Amino acid sequence: MITLAKTAKEVVKYQETPKDGKVCRDCLHFIAETNECKTVAGAINPEGWCSIYFKNPMLKKETNETNITAKTV
């Protein structure tokens, strides 16, 4: 198995808080089981963010359809 070096948090401007609603837990690179990132070194806060954030296309898109109630006329 080949182990690749990870990027330092400072390089990718990692922060412990979301940015514009974007969070690590929704990122393609985030590994939820271990709170790690595939590309950034160290422990990662699921609520954090960094400049290489890329929304995971496998996540379901949130909709308000489940919150809509039918009205009878």
Asked, for residue 1, whether it belongs to a domain, the answer is: yes
Number of structural domains (the chain) is 1
Phi, psi angle pair for 7, to nearest 5°: -85, 140
CATH label of the domain that carries residue 18: 4.10.490.10
Calculate the average pLDDT of the chain. 87
Enclosing domain of residue 16: 1-57
> Measured between alpha carbons, how far is 47 from 69 in angstroms, rounded to an integer?
31
Mean pLDDT across the stretch 54-70?
67
Residue 67 lies in a domain: no
Residue 19: inside a domain, yes or no? yes
pLDDT band of residue 66 (cuts 50, 70, 90) is: very low
For residue 8, the one-letter residue type is A
Does residue 38 form part of some domain? yes
What pTM, to 2 d.p., does this model score?
Answer: 0.76
Whether 66 maps to a domain, the answer reads no
